A and B are shown apart, each in its own frame.
Chain A
Amino acid sequence: KAGVTQTPRYLIKTRGQQVTLSCSPISGHRSVSWYQQTPGQGLQFLFEYFSETQRNKGNFPGRFSGRQFSNSRSEMNVSTLELGDSALYLCASSFMGQDTEAFFGQGTRLTVV
């Protein structure tokens, strides 16, 4: 069974640009959650999608958005990038929701210069 796939693995962007990250969950999983991980703040929850609907949202500005498609694949978008957005962005999939067993992808390392 294939795991969670995140693309791209690495990304370098310039301040002010926007970026879209992609996540393909484990087959059959309907919940996709996104996290931002930085050395200073640790793993912070961005949002969760379930059956194409945003079910939970963390405390991040509106520049961070996401969506989920009918095949459960998800994308997250960050607009007007800031230097502080540099982080490892992680996607996790689970069958029913975050607090059931969540399986993570390898992440996308975003560097904003």
Chain B
Amino acid sequence: TQLLEQSPQFLSIQEGENLTVYCNSSSVFSSLQWYRQEPGEGPVLLVTVVTGGEVKKLKRLTFQFGDARKDSSLHITAAQPGDTGLYLCAGGIPSSGSARQLTFGSGTQLTVLP
């Protein structure tokens, strides 16, 4: 069972267009993180959202955490070729261990064409 569903899986757009990536779950998360990963490299943390309904902006990127803390979205305005990469959401879930386990969505591969 996939705990975090990301959509779309692939997205190819022209430079200057806007886009939204979604991250959905039936589980409640204490926090949710968004990462961007380039080929052969590790994921780079973009933002952490903690409070239900929270909105954070990072230049042209807007991140929103759902009121119920079960879903999140990433909106990119006026996409540029440098935004190309694999976008991953990750949330902490209860586990059998002594601390919450971070689980990742399957990712959205974004390609921005010049």
Contact = CB atoms under 8 A, between A and B. Distances in A.
A68 interface: no
A99 B31 contact: yes
A42 interface: yes
Contacts of B43: 43, 90, 104
Q: Is the interface of B mostly helix, strand, loop or mixed?
A: loop
B114 interface: no
Interface stretch (B51-59, B61-69, B91-99): B91-99
Given A55-B97, A55-B98, A106 B91 contact: no
Given A42-B107, A43-B88, A56-B95, A97 B42 contact: no
Interface string B86-114: 00101110011111111111110000000
B78 interface: no
6 contacts: A44-B104, A45-B104, A56-B97, A97-B100, A98-B100, A107-B41
Interface of B: 29-31, 33, 35, 40-45, 48, 88, 90-92, 95-107
Interface of A: 4, 6, 31, 33, 35, 42-45, 48, 50, 55-58, 88, 90, 92, 97-107, 109
